[in-house]
Structure 1
Amino acid sequence: MAIRKLVGRNLKRFREAAGLSQEALAFECGLHRTYVSGVERGVRNPTVEVLEKLAEPLGIPAWRLLVPPPPDDRPN
């Protein structure tokens, strides 16, 4: 899987688990909602600094966005 797609899927999974909308997460990060959407869709290439900004409100370390989910959490 391409790294941008992996980051996007992970971001969406953690965001939804935290009960945040894209807009709420973007506000917490100081980013625009369309940027968060682009990251989730795998069309934006966030820097490591942006990954850190995205991870903080989710309560996870930034590296978790780069790790494939366990097999039971993967979409079919």
Structure 2
Amino acid sequence: GPEGIRVNAISPGPMKTLAGAAIGGARKTYKHTDQNAPLRSNATLEAVGGTAVYLCSDAGACTTGETIRVDGGFHVLGMPQPDHL
């Protein structure tokens, strides 16, 4: 803080990546997130990169101690959408 150091984290949730493809059941997880997240999408590398750019820019100068979720809103759900039960 006093030295101007800010610490934040980015939590993207499920992402279609080469590493993620090696995880058993990944396709089912991606599909579930895509169908149930409020924005109906999984995180993308571009969205995560844009969040990182924000945090590194002057626009994020007063943001510290935060975990920013880039998951289409999936983290706010209590249960799947009724159409996907």
Name the TM tier (shorter chain): under 0.3
**Normalized per residue, which structure has more helix?**
1
TM-score (normalizing by structure 1): 0.28
TM-score (norm 2): 0.26
Higher-Rg member (1/2): 2
